Amino acid sequence: MVRVKRRLAELGTLTLISVSIIALLLYTSEVTQASKNGLTMCLSVVIPTLFPFMVFTSMFIKTGGAGFIGDTVSPILGRLFGVGRQGVSAFVLGLLGGYPMGARAIAELYDEGGINREEAEHLLGFCSNSGPAFIFGACGAGVFNSVRVGIVLFASHVISAALVGVIFRRFSPCGDTVSVKKTHVYKPLTLAFVESVRDAIQGVINICGFVIIFQVLSAIVRSSGLILTGDFGTLTEGFLELTAGIYRLNVSNYIIAMTMASFLIGWGGLCVHCQALSYTVPRGLRTHKYFIGKMLHGIISAAVTYIAVCVFG
C-alpha cells in the first residue's frame, strides 16, 4: 500500500511538471513578459528594499542586538507569546523588515544558538509578517492612494499577528521560559559585516528567483482562464502571489477591497511561503504551525479591518 501511494505521488508530480512545461510552450509570450515583470520587480522593489535590511538585520543578530531588543520588550511580549527574549526580537524584526525577514531571523537565531528547535517552530506561526514599506507603499499609496488606508491595514496586520501569537501560546511546547540549545556567542563587527553581506546576497537571489517564477505561474494560470474575474479571481491570484493579487483589487468597493487586502497581506501568498520555507526546510524545522498561523493571520486581519472600517469609516 505504501509503495502504491509512493508511485501515485511520483506520477502526480511528473504529471504536474509535464503540464507546466506544456504551458510554458503554449504561452511563450505571456511567460516571457511575466519573467520580465518579475525581474523588474526584483530590481526596482525587492533588492533596494530588502537587501540593505537583510544585511543590517543579520549584523544586528550576530552582534547581540537581537538580545538587546529582547531584553527591552520581552517583559511584556515574552509573557504574551510564551517565548524567550530572543524570540521576541524575531517578532519585532519580522514586522520591521517584512517578508521573509521574520523567517530569516528565526533561522539565524536558531543557527546562532539564541533559540531552540521547539521555540523556532513555535515562532514561525506568527513572526513572518509584512513590513510597513509594502503596506504603506504598495497598498496604501499604490493601490488605494491613501496614507490613512495604509495606517489601518498596518495596524490590523500588527494586532492580528499579536493575536495569533497569543492563540499559539496555549499550544506552545516551550512554556513561559525557553532555554537555548547552546551558549550564544556574539561575533565582532567586522566578521559579522562580512558574513551578513554574503548571506544577504544569497538570500536576495533566492527571493528574486521565487518572485520571478511565481510571476510566471500567475501569468500561466491567468492566460489559461483558471483565474476567474471579480473578487474570487483576485483572491485566487493573491493566494499564489501577494503583489499580483493586491494590484488586482477593485477599490470602488472600499470596504470589500480593504478587507480582501488585509486577508491577502496576512496570508502572504505561496510565493512568500516558499521564501520562508527556503530558510526553514534546510534546518529541518517543521512548518505546520507556520501555515496554520498564516491562515489564522489572514482571517483575523480581515475581520479586524472590516470592523475598523465599518466603525470608523
% of the chain at pLDDT higher than 90: 24
Determine the pLDDT at residue 181: 47
Lowest mean pLDDT among 33-37, 177-181, 188-192, 213-217: 177-181
Mean pLDDT of the region 271-293: 91
Burial of 101 (0-12, 13-18, 19+ CB in 10 A): buried
Mean pLDDT of the region 145-165: 93
% of the chain at pLDDT higher than 70: 92
Amino acid letter, residue 53: F
Whether 142 contacts 109, CB under 8 Å: no
Q: Give the mean pLDDT of the chain.
A: 84
Angle ∠(134,48,153) on CA atoms, nearest 5: 5
Q: Which DSSP letter does residue 5 get?
A: H
Determine the pLDDT at residue 184: 53
Mean pLDDT of the region 72-92: 82
pLDDT above 50: residue 196: yes
pLDDT above 90: residue 300: yes
Burial of 275 (0-12, 13-18, 19+ CB in 10 A): buried
pLDDT band at residue 167 using 50, 70 and 90 as cut-offs = very high
Determine the pLDDT at residue 176: 45
Mean pLDDT of the region 31-45: 87
Whether 109 contacts 122, CB under 8 Å: no
Determine the pLDDT at residue 295: 95
pLDDT above 80: residue 151: yes
Output the nine-digit C-alpha cell for 77: 511580549
Determine the pLDDT at residue 248: 82
Find the helix or strand (DSSP H, E) in which 287 lies. Answer: none
Determine the pLDDT at residue 297: 96
Determine the pLDDT at residue 179: 44
Mean pLDDT of the region 211-224: 84
Comparing 51 with 127, the larger pLDDT belongs to 127
Whether 105 contacts 127, CB under 8 Å: yes
Mean pLDDT of the region 78-94: 84
Burial of 143 (0-12, 13-18, 19+ CB in 10 A): buried
Determine the pLDDT at residue 177: 45
pLDDT above 60: residue 16: yes
Comparing 304 with 14, the larger pLDDT belongs to 304
In 10 A of CB 207, how many CB atoms? 24
Mean pLDDT of the region 18-27: 86
Can you tell me the distance from the alpha carbon of 41 to that of 146, in angstroms, rounded to the nearest whole number? 22
Whether 265 contacts 136, CB under 8 Å: no
pLDDT band at residue 32 using 50, 70 and 90 as cut-offs = very high
- Phi, psi for residue 63 in degrees, rounded to 5: -95, 0
Mean pLDDT of the region 79-94: 84
The Cα-based distances of 5 to 15, 17, 19, 256 in angstroms read 15, 18, 21, 42
pLDDT above 50: residue 162: yes
